[in-house]
Structure 1
Amino acid sequence: MLAVTAVSDVRTVGVVGGSLGGLFQAVALAELGLDVTVWERSAGRPDDRGAGIVLQPSVAWFLSVFCGVDPDRISVPVTHRQFFGRDGRSHHTLMRQRMISWGAIYTSLRDRLDSERYHDGRRVTALTPWPDGVDVHLGEAVHPVDLAIIADGSASRHRGLVAPDGAPRYAGYVAYRGVIDEAELPEELSEVFRDRFSFYDGDRTQFLCYFIPGDFGSTTPGSRRMNWVWYVRADAAGLDRITTDRDGTAHGLSLPPGLMAARVRGELLDRARTSLPEPLRRLVEHTREPFAQAILDGHASRMRRGRTLLTGDAAFVVRPHTAASAEKAAADAIALFTALQQVPSVDAALQAWEKDRLAEGAALYQHGVRLGQRLGLGGPEADPPHRPAPGNAARGGS
């Protein structure tokens, strides 16, 4: 059990955004005995068929300590990294990791938070700071809180209140993604990827895949899901084509599962047949509902204005090659929990938190850009003009 102490001057906390970044913060601050309220603009629980995530230390620690969940029970182990050549042959190196799904993390966090604290289908329309707190506006309703945390993701509508310069930019390539029930894979294909984190680095492209938990967090072989990600360069016009759905609706920076236009799906399959090793091509062909997201770079120069904070992807949008989006959000929450416990003055605690998390976010941001450049996928110098994010980017990590 965590030893917690009351936090002077902060009793009420409002969290804008109820995805992973907001939930990490809400669960941790509720553990301090604070009155936490989360407002999430989407209605209902999302399904958990989104992308997979590499389980990193801060996420595993958070699930264990704050949620009472054994992360090993809701993640899939891999023992080796597998590297494919264009001819389909592969070699292996020993590297033990665990893979988890977005849904498994979300469910663990959401189940820990009292239902009366979480309000979905509620859009925060404005935040008004005052010297020792913030007014949270939901239409005509106003909720005063001592501390407001902006956690509404890469497409944050409220980021500019704290960091007007932090809007993300398109990095010049997309991630096609797919999730396949293991039961739908031919046994011989499933065997190729068993216990493996698999990669293919081609000409200005990268493909990777691994198993993640299936329905209800099942990690039993045969009931898991195969998660794959394929990074492909695309100019601004190509991005618009990829993220315009089969009914002609433009989705901006992401395309959810089940909406891909037939022409784009055909282009994806043709590209797979001509440029991927045979086992990876077959994964793409077996995917019923591929989806896509633009790769973004977002760098905030600050994470705090008075009693208003930025956290998770609302602060730094790091490329998924880092496998650090969920890790960064968990670390933000752990650091804030610790600072509020250890530093007597709330303002001093928030200042210390911001200094620590700005340094970490900047380092991850730069690391992601370097990884993308190393793969030939693009960097800031190749960016098309700034494109504001009109909606949520697809969930998940590499």
Structure 2
Amino acid sequence: MNALSGIRSVGVVGGSLGGLFQAVALADLGLDVTVWERSAGRPHDRGAGIVLQPSVAWFLKMFCGADPDRVSVPVTHRQFFTADGRSHRTPMRQQMISWGSIYQPLRDKLDHGRYREGQLVDALTPRPDGVDIHTGDTVRPVDLAIIAEGSSSRHRELVTRGGDPCYAGYVAYRGVIDEAELPEALGAVFRNRFSFFDGDRTQFLCYFIPGALGAVGPGTRRMNWVWYVRADEAELDRITTDRNGAARGLSLPPGLMAPPVHTELLDRARRVLPQPMRELVEHTREPFAQAILDGRVPRMRTDRMLLTGDAAFVVRPHTAASAMKAAEDAIALFTALQQFPSPEAALDAWAQNRIAEGTALHHRGVALGRRLGLNGPGGTPSRLPREGRRPL
């Protein structure tokens, strides 16, 4: 006998990567899994690039039947620039992927009837042996509820006090360019390379990722760049106020950057960045921006409710571990439910393991931000008010 004898139904609140990793793995165990996602239609990934970590590649292959080599772009070297444009390279093989190229195999694997899009979960009510999930006028009892709503989770406090994200004191400007739109000479500088520039309290990095519909062939990919720049909270508000004067809070979508902010971005690029990276910024039609956040919880389990992914830990992107963390949360639960004799033993073991891993990632990200000189004044993240901040 194992924990599966006491858990037959699972409700997942949130249908982005964290929720999908859990849903796909638990459905593979034969559990009755339902996902509630408040947004309708496919989430917009804005073309974000991700380093494909081994655990994510393993998950896609084992659970989704996706060949990681067919959904990612390989790099063979890391390339480091100095301010005057000189560079040196060191061999290092990695695979780069887009958010959408992870999302789509997960979404395709999950039976359509299990995914309830456009349905907001109003409340979760614990029971001695499960949780009631309230959506509109419907109450669905489940044996286990997994809260996977991301950094702006509405239900985090049902599991633990504390853990709301804090602003780390800097922003990430981002851009995506179709490879076909890059001058050939400029594209050649970056092909097969993960490129970096570390300046004075700033970092710029870039690499190719899959293009539209997951295309990975030369000429069909996209260049993805990220530029970390310090900004106090007043500056964050200015950066994320869109061209129409609307405050966007924690992130600014593509196409909405206010002209003065865009002009300042271009001016900064000309002053600070090595020429090839400056040209990437200049070739980007619709740059966007997001606040860098820290978030960690002291607990990931209360009774039959679990926190997963960014609802539990929001780690700095320097760790390249956000998707990895969510995948490993799911792999660990998949394993624990088969190995332990009761649901309580399995969930306790899972929570202890994931708290330790999440805390270590959190500390690593803060240390990397400090090493780069990016942490806010005093090195202390600032608390974000609940009201007036739109989720990422």
- TM-score scaled by structure 1? 0.96
Aligned to 1:101: 98
Aligned to 1:184: 181
Q: Supply the distance in 1 between the matched residues of 2:258 and 2:138 (Cα, whole angstroms).
A: 40
Q: Supply the distance in 1 between the matched residues of 2:381 and 2:27 (Cα, whole angstroms).
A: 42
C-alpha displacement of 1:380: 8.8
Q: Supply the distance in 1 between the matched residues of 2:376 and 2:269 (Cα, whole angstroms).
A: 24
Q: Which amino acid aligns with 2:57?
A: A
Aligned to 1:204: 201
Q: Supply the distance in 1 between the matched residues of 2:3 and 2:221 (Cα, whole angstroms).
A: 42
Alpha carbons 1:340, 1:346 under 8 Å: kept: yes
Aligned to 2:334: 337
Q: Does 1:10 align with 2:7?
A: yes
Aligned to 1:129: 126
Q: Structure 2 unaligned segments of length 5 or more: list them.
A: none
Q: Supply the distance in 2 between the matched residues of 1:137 and 1:292 (Cα, whole angstroms).
A: 34
Aligned to 2:263: 266
Alpha carbons 2:171, 2:291 under 8 Å: kept: yes
Deviation by residue 1:29-66 (Cα, 9 ceiling, x = unmatched): 00010111111111101345421000001100000000
Please identify, of 226-235 and 140-149, the stretch whose mean Cα deviation from structure 2 is larger. 140-149
User: How many equivalent residue pairs?
Assistant: 390
Q: Supply the distance in 2 between the matched residues of 1:13 and 1:122 (Cα, whole angstroms).
A: 16
Deviation by residue 1:223-267 (Cα, 9 ceiling, x = unmatched): 000000000000000000111111111111111111111111111
Deviation by residue 1:64-116 (Cα, 9 ceiling, x = unmatched): 00000011110000000000000011100010000000000000100000011
Aligned to 2:254: 257
Question: Identity, % of aligned pairs?
Answer: 74
Q: Which amino acid aligns with 1:255?
A: L
Q: Supply the distance in 1 between the matched residues of 2:374 and 2:390 (Cα, whole angstroms).
A: 23
Equivalent of residue 279 in structure 2, options 282, 292, 295: 282
- Which secondary structure state, in structure 2, belongs to the residue aligned with residue 116 of structure 1? helix
Root-mean-square deviation (Å): 1.4
Kindly report which structure 2 residues correspond to 1:1-398, keeping only aligned pairs within 5 A, or say none.
7-378=4-375, 381-383=378-380, 385-388=382-385, 390-393=389-392
Q: Which amino acid aligns with 1:278?
A: Q
Q: Supply the distance in 1 between the matched residues of 2:180 and 2:126 (Cα, whole angstroms).
A: 52
- Which secondary structure state, in structure 2, belongs to the residue aligned with residue 156 of structure 1? coil
Q: Supply the distance in 1 between the matched residues of 2:155 and 2:289 (Cα, whole angstroms).
A: 25
Alpha carbons 1:6, 1:32 under 8 Å: kept: no
Aligned to 1:396: none
- Which secondary structure state, in structure 2, belongs to the residue aligned with residue 299 of structure 1? coil
Alpha carbons 1:84, 1:91 under 8 Å: kept: yes
Q: Supply the distance in 2 between the matched residues of 1:120 and 1:380 (Cα, whole angstroms).
A: 41
Q: Supply the distance in 1 between the matched residues of 2:148 and 2:377 (Cα, whole angstroms).
A: 25
- Which secondary structure state, in structure 2, belongs to the residue aligned with residue 29 of structure 1? helix
Q: Structure 1 unaligned segments of length 5 or more: list them.
A: 394-398
Alpha carbons 1:53, 1:99 under 8 Å: kept: yes
- Which secondary structure state, in structure 2, belongs to the residue aligned with residue 222 of structure 1? coil
Q: Supply the distance in 2 between the matched residues of 1:219 and 1:371 (Cα, whole angstroms).
A: 30
Q: Which amino acid aligns with 2:391?
A: N
Q: Supply the distance in 1 between the matched residues of 2:356 and 2:65 (Cα, whole angstroms).
A: 30
Q: Which amino acid aligns with 1:202?
A: G
- Which secondary structure state, in structure 2, belongs to the residue aligned with residue 27 of structure 1? helix
Deviation by residue 1:280-318 (Cα, 9 ceiling, x = unmatched): 011011111111110001010000000000000000000
Q: Supply the distance in 2 between the matched residues of 1:19 and 1:373 (Cα, whole angstroms).
A: 30
Q: Supply the distance in 1 between the matched residues of 2:87 and 2:15 (Cα, whole angstroms).
A: 41
Q: Supply the distance in 2 between the matched residues of 1:48 and 1:125 (Cα, whole angstroms).
A: 25
